[in-house]
Homo-oligomer: A and B are copies of this chain.
Amino acid sequence: MSKSIKLAILGLGTVGTGVVNLINDNLSELKRRSGRDIIITEVGTRRQRDDIDPSIVQNDDLMAIAASDNVDIVIEVIGGTTLAKDIIMHAIKNGKHVVTANKALLAEHGNEIFALAEAHHVHVAYEAAVAGGIPIIKVMREALAANKIDWLAGIINGTGNFIMTEMRDKGRPFKDVLTEAQELGYAEADPTFDVEGIDAAHKLALLASIAFGIPLQFDKVYCEGITGITLQDVNYAEELGYRIKHLGFAVRRNSEDEQQDSAGIELRVHPTLIPQDALLANVNGVKNAVLVNSHPLGQTLYCGDGAGAGATASAVMADVMDLVRVLGNHDDSEHSHHVPHLAFMPEELSDTPVLRAEQMITGYYLRVHAYDNPGVLADITRILSDAGINIDAILQKPAHKLGQVPVIILTLPVVESQMNLAIEKIERLTAVTDKVVRIRLDELAQ
């Protein structure tokens, strides 16, 4: 029998407790699959807990645990980007493998952390950091390892998806649903990270790196939340055969692509109209899903719970099982370094630029409010056509106040700078009464 694997769990909140419960519940499955005993030797917790097996050392000195001789793998589930970073760096320097669910930390400091891990020949595993229990990190780093990834689109924030689902299914306004999400514990008291798209942007930065082999560049993610989405737009979208989802996109653009003058990568998080009959449009509630378009495989979709104790613990322990299988048979950790942290060999990361927002290419949903004068529709469509923007659909609704009509226009993909100019011109028309509402649109075509 090989030696047992010793885990330290730092943080006994929802996720940490979920990991403890998983190990208790599934001990025999873990052993049957790995051939090893997996035991928790230490837990890091501020206050002494009575519900923890007395054979496990409880310690409030997390830095000490990160360096303990009685630990092979450090599981960091305290969150945050300061103490968590210090602990992880300390663990790495002490030759420990690390498993973390900390998307913010990795998105912002991952380049530094992974470099230190390479230098010390240890792994920092992070399946739980993106899309909870969906094994999207493993899928993209390993299962799609022979593919060239063209783009991915993901519902990677459960709170946002819950809100969009409730708005659409029940015709409830944004604020109302947000309050319920907070009551249900889906959203934090300060929901900024979720509803402004920052949490999704953290995850997208990680996904984009492993998709394209670029360094983590969270600061370059274009980020738009869902706070501006109204029921009116949700309903018009449905009427036109689309559904609004809050999505993260990572798209590889080649210089030979139509309309694109420079090769680069689009990293963007924003509400998006997608076709109603796409599977992604039917992923509802707090579920997450990632759609990956790659060559030669084509489109594959991965869907499941993106948060919660069970889903997160499942991902954390999948990482542990990977490490157990690697650690199992030899002690020379330098030899066990199979899957690069960011999917590509560190020396092979490319400096393909991240495109600026004005360079991004997407379709658009436009809602223009104008007085119902003869000629105003002709003026609007002329402006779009002069800018080289192709209209895919128009929906003109009956006048709803003082002779104003909402005109809904769907366009084919266009460079954002072109659209900005066109919208400026439309807003200058005397018949146009309000700012133009714009939401991006994607057909999710192969």
With A and B bound together, what is the CA distance between A145 and B319 in angstroms? 9
CA distance A8 to B279 in the complex (A): 38
Specify which of B297, B322, B336 is in contact with A304 (CB 8 Å cutoff): B297
A402-426 interface (Cβ within 8 A of B): none
Whether the pair A311, B299 counts as a contact (CB closer than 8 A) is no
Q: Given A144-B318, A335-B329, A344 and B300 touching (CB < 8 A)?
A: no
> Cβ of A33 and Cβ of B343 under 8 Å apart?
yes
Within 8 A of B (CB), among A11-50: 18, 21-22, 25-26, 29-35
Residues of B within 8 Å of A144, CB to CB, are: 135, 314, 318
CB neighbours of A147 from chain B (8 A): 26, 29, 314
Asked whether A142 and B321 contact (CB < 8 A) given A33-B344, A300-B133, A301-B304, the answer is yes
Determine how close the nearest CB of chain B comes to the CB of A217; give it in whole angstroms.
18
Residue of B nearest to A289 (CB): B301
Instruction: Give Cα A296–Cα B144 distance, bound, in whole angstroms.
Output: 26
Set of chain B residues within 8 Å of A231, measured between Cβ atoms: none
Q: Within the complex, what minimum Cβ distance (angstroms) separates A66 from chain B?
A: 22
List of B residues within 8 angstroms of A309 by Cβ? 296
Residue in B305, B317, B329, B343 whose beta carbon sits within 8 Å of that of A298 in the complex: B305
Decide: A35 and B139 in contact? CB cutoff 8 A: no
Q: Give which listed residue, B26, B277, B305, B320, contacts A295 with CB less than 8 A.
A: B26
Indicate the member of A145, A303, A329 with the most B CB atoms within 10 Å: A145
> Which A326-361 residues sit within 8 Å CB-CB of chain B?
326, 328-330, 334-340, 343-345, 348, 350
Assembly CA distance A363 to B234 (angstroms):
37
**Interface: A435 (CB within 8 A):** no
Tell whether A134 is near chain B: CB-to-CB under 8 Å: yes
Q: Using Cβ atoms and an 8 Å threshold, which residues of chain B touch A300?
A: 133-135, 302-305
B325 touches A25 (CB 8 A): no
CA distance A30 to B322 in the complex (A): 22
CA distance A295 to B320 in the complex (A): 17
B311:A296 contact, CB within 8 angstroms: yes
**Which residues of B have CB within 8 Å of A321?**
142, 145-146
Report B-chain residues with C-beta under 8 Å of the C-beta of A299.
Answer: 304-305
Which of B32, B298, B301, B320 is in CB contact (< 8 Å) with A311? Answer: B298
Query: Do B296 and A25 have beta carbons less than 8 Å apart?
Result: yes
Who on chain B is nearest to A21 by CB?
A: B296
A27 to chain B, nearest CB (A): 10
Taking a contact as CB atoms under 8 Å apart, the answer to whether B298 and A301 are in contact is: no
Tell me, yes or no, whether A213 is within 8 Å of chain B by CB: yes
A305 touches B314 (CB 8 A): no
A339 touches B314 (CB 8 A): no
CB-CB < 8 A to A337: which residues of B? 329
Minimum CB distance partner of A344 in chain B: B32
Say yes or no for A282: interface residue by CB 8 A criterion. Answer: yes
* Residues in chain B near residue A79, CB distance under 8 A: none
User: Given A35-B348, A145-B34, A148-B25: A305 and B297 within 8 A (CB)?
Assistant: yes
A310 to chain B, nearest CB (A): 3
How close is A121's CB to chain B, nearest CB, in angstroms?
11
> Do A340 and B33 touch (CB < 8 A)?
yes
Q: B338 near A325 (CB under 8 angstroms)?
A: yes
A317 to B144, CA, bound (A): 9
Partner of A29, one of B31, B127, B148: B148
Judge whether B138 and A32 touch: CB under 8 Å: no
A63 — which chain B residues lie within 8 A by C-beta?
Answer: none
Question: Closest residue of chain B to A210, judged by CB?
Answer: B33
CA–CA, A138 to B283, complex, Å?
Answer: 23
Q: A30-B146, A35-B345, A279-B303 are in contact. List 5 more A-B contacts (CB 8 A).
A: A33-B343, A142-B318, A146-B321, A279-B283, A297-B304
Q: List 20 A-B residue pairs with CB atoms under 8 Å apart, sorted by A's residue number.
A: A21-B296, A22-B146, A30-B146, A32-B345, A33-B213, A33-B343, A127-B143, A133-B298, A133-B300, A135-B139, A142-B142, A142-B321, A142-B322, A144-B318, A146-B321, A297-B305, A298-B305, A300-B305, A302-B303, A329-B335
